[in-house]
Amino acid sequence: MQKYSTELPGLAFYCASGELVSPCYRISAHRAGELCAKNAFRLVYGAGSVGLMGKLAEGAFFHGGPVTGVIPTYLLTKEQPFDWLRNAPNMLVEVSDMTERRDQFRARSIASVVLSGGMGTLTEMAEDLTLEQIGQRSHPTIIVNENGYWDHQLAQYARMRQEQAIRPGLDFREIVISRIDDLFPTLHSVCPQMSQTVIPFMQARGSR
């Protein structure tokens, strides 16, 4: 998979596109986008204007952060990318299917962040952790377990380990936080690439 060189490192976010999710998750998604912009990251997400995806993108865009949306062509009418995403060069990436979308998320990011979501979000998280398990991915996966949203899924991972379905030596590391404001302190502690890319960029930007 080709790696994309951009001025800022990317963070891939996975979250719900549904409109019926709790308002508390909408607030957190908007805050996640804001933090992404303020910490000098490019937001990489599913390109939608609906649900948590829309709040996430607005949070980044309205705080001056760069945004890249990746979407299968057949979802354009359902997930409805913002006009500002459609009209800006290189911000909207159309792909053929969901598999290519997930490949693009990984190629354009140095870590992935799992917010509250449905089956698409669950698939994205599971695939990232599986690739880590088999040695095909080293980037961290951060799970934002707000209000215990992912408690049952995390318990299932623990059960898999207990039953030896996930074997020692062939495991993955799910990194769990409960508040979105803990995201970047956690990333700095687990992602060494940040010190090589983000800090020099922010220092250069501050000196202009």
Which CATH fold topology does 10-192 show? Rossmann fold (3.40.50)
Q: For 64-84, what is the mean pLDDT?
A: 95
- What is the pLDDT at residue 89? 81
Which run of H or of E encompasses 13? strand 10-14
Which whole number is the average pLDDT over 160-165? 95
Asked if pLDDT for residue 207 goes beyond 70, the answer is no
Ordered by start, the domain boundaries in the chain are: 10-192
The arithmetic mean of pLDDT across residues 166-187, rounded, is 94
6 conformational bin, left if phi > 0, alpha if psi -120 to 50, beta if neither: beta
Q: How far apart are CA 184 and CA 187, in angstroms?
A: 5
Q: Which residue has the higher pLDDT, 169 or 82?
A: 82
Instruction: Report residue 52 as tokens.
Output: 């948590």
- How far, in Å, CA of 147 to CA of 150, rounded? 8
- pLDDT of 5 over the 60 cut: no
Choose among 81, 141, 138: nearest CA to 115.
Answer: 141
